[in-house]
Amino acid sequence: MDPAELDLFDRTLRDATEAHSGAALDAALLELGWHEALAHDRRAAVSLLFEHQGRAAVTSGALDDVVAHALGPDTAPDAAIVFPALGRAEPPAYEGAGGVVLQGLGTSRLLRRDTALVVVRARHGELVAVVKTAELACRPVRGMDPDLGLVEVTGAVIVVAPVTPIDRDGWSTAVTGARLAVGHELVGASAAMLELARVHALNRVQFGRPISAFQAVRHRLADSLVALESARALLDAAWQDGSGETAAMAKALAGRSARTVAGHCQQVLAGMGFTTEHPLHRYVRRVLVLDELFGSARALTADLGRHVLTRRRLPPPLPL
């Protein structure tokens, strides 16, 4: 896309995420050509949509689409996907002695489809299985973030319809794409929290002046901006170098930054931000759950450290 097209696409996505959520947002994305964009300019499609989705605190099945797209060109464009269980990044199902065992998560799209795609770690590589959702044990999750519409999926044995082997790198490509998407969503949510806290600080008067005049408040907000911009820079780097390792670093930093921003902004918004009348709580809840999808900041960061110590080598630096 050229700059003018990008700008238009960006505004279209912003409008869609501000107006719709869930199935309605899926429909809007289908209509505005997001799937074509995903096929032709994955970076623009993913980075723009997920940042807006995070900012507006809405949901969609776009993460299903990102994973489906990575799994192969033959995958249905609006398929429902079973993601790994919370905090995990390996395929949600494996082939055990007694059959296929499944434990994972889905978006609310899973409940609206008759079938879903499950990646199974089998003895001889990874497969994509089409399963009937009616035969899965699906629990709509309320939990920390009821608005996120996650579905917990379990099953001891599932009926496996046509099974397609995927490339050796298929699953890791899908994980990388999902991590970038969730990373952008975390940055979008961080930006929204910072804006809420910023506006509050300018308007809330105490001791005869807006609390934005107090350095203790200003520095929390400044640190929030540094945190979210550092995550954004590393996400950009991950798109540039295309490596799964950089994407994992960027997802981890986005998660850690979002937690930092949530902490600062909650403190600045104080009592107001603690009520359900104020939107902050939706973001605070959301980033905690998003951070855990496809590997939390905590786990990915420790994994990276162990990996560096084993290899005795830093990840290759981003070239000029």
Partner 1 sequence: MELDDFRHALDGWLDEHAAALAPDGATGTLDEHMAQLEKVKRLAYDAGFMRWGWPERVGGLGGSPMLRAYLGEALTGRDLVEPGIYSMTETLAPTMIDHARPRLAAEMVPRLLRGEETWCQGFSEPGTGSNLAALACRAIREQNGWRVTGEKVWTSLAQYAQRCVLLTRTGAPGSAHGGITALFVDMDSPGITVRPIETMHGAPEFCEVFFDGVAVPFDRTLGQEDEGWSVAMDLLPFERSTALWHKAAYLHRRLQDLVEVVPADALDPAALGAAVQLLAAFRARSRATLYRLAAAERLGPETSIDKVLVASAEQAVFDIVEAGLAPEVLLGDDPGGSRWRSEYLFSRAATIYGGTAEIQRNIIARRLLDLGVDR
Enumerate the β-bridge partners of residue 128: 119, 164
Q: Does 99 bind partner 1 (CB under 8 A)?
A: no
For residue 51, CA distances in Å to 124, 208, 248, 306 come to 37, 37, 17, 30
- What are residue 126's phi and psi, to 5 degrees? -105, 145
CA end-to-end span of the chain, whole Å?
Answer: 23
Stretch that binds partner 1, among 41-49, 58-66, 222-230, 275-283 (CB under 8 A): 222-230
> In angstroms, what is the minimal distance from the CB of 205 to partner 1?
13
Q: Is 290 exposed, middle or buried (0-12, 13-18, 19+ CB in 10 A)?
A: buried
Question: Both tokens of residue 24?
Answer: 């309605």
Stretch that binds partner 1, among 2-10, 85-93, 145-153, 306-314 (CB under 8 A): 306-314
Total site size for partner 1, rule CB under 8 A = 46
The angle at the Cα of 191, spanning 29 to 14, to the nearest 5 degrees, equals 25
60-74 as b/e: b if 16+ CB within 10 A: bbbbbbbbbbbbeee
Nearer residue to partner 1 within complex by CB, 20 or 232: 232
> In angstroms, what is the minimal distance from the CB of 243 to partner 1?
11
> Restricting to residues 269-298, which ones interact with partner 1 according to CB under 8 A?
298
Q: Does 204 bind partner 1 (CB under 8 A)?
A: no
Stretch that binds partner 1, among 1-9, 25-33, 90-98, 248-256 (CB under 8 A): 248-256
Amino acid at 164: T
Stretch that binds partner 1, among 59-67, 83-91, 142-150, 206-214 (CB under 8 A): 206-214
Write the interaction track for partner 1 spanning residues 160-199; mark x where CB under 8 A is met and - where it is not. Answer: ----------------------------------x---x-
Enumerate the β-bridge partners of residue 20: none
Residues in the chain, overall count: 320
Interface positions with partner 1 (CB under 8 A): 194, 198, 201-202, 210, 212-215, 218-219, 221-223, 225-226, 229-231, 233-234, 236-237, 246, 249, 252-253, 256, 298, 300-306, 308-310, 312-315, 317-318, 320
